[in-house]
Structure 1
């Protein structure tokens, strides 16, 4: 059960990034420093591919985020589908569509999963909420922490 709390905390941190950065004006976002993700005040800087801010939504590289959430990520090239299997949550996404399935229930996304330079990015707000988390945004430090 302790591992599930950790996954929930990570998802919480991811959610805060999405909430705060989507509320910033576009011209400020372009000039601001990158968002930092922390878990229990420990910086999560292991991302090979940094978070993206596009059209008011924050995206994280799915495979790396899946590892952080202790989830198995599968890519099914036929249909461009992505499956994320977590301890208590299963998510199915499809590149280029606004529909996702979480534990068998259909949801409409506010941002579409995308492929950038061969890396699949997903909207972190949705992933975080799908894992049942909330996060704390520290605006001064541009940091998300649980």
Structure 2
């Protein structure tokens, strides 16, 4: 399991190198409406041309099991296997939700966190705590570091 952290100018080239490894069968990008529009164009040149975008609405109210279901359905429909990688491009909602969804899909697929906010940079992306809100409680369903496979 590779759990490297890259910061600065070498981060995106390192991500591109990791995604191009033969052990990676398919790349999926999870983004919300804002990061898909504003940040994905900056990331695209570092992604394989056949990546699949999974877009969710922006906002804490979408950090739910229903959004996880959207991720899982897309991964299943696109025939993601255990060697797929989910790249989570966004703030705390996307990095929490994406890490949680990846940890539970097929007993854990690799994921890469590409945080776009300061909080996401120090919370889910490095701290290893991910989760979703449930029945009005924040992070009620969660995964802690060690469950699932992380790749940065």
TM above 0.5, yes or no, is no
The structure with the greater share of residues assigned to strand is 1
- The TM-score with structure 1 as length reference comes to 0.27
For normalisation by structure 2, the TM-score amounts to: 0.27
Higher helix share: 2
- Greater RCO (CA < 8 Å, at least 6 residues apart): 1
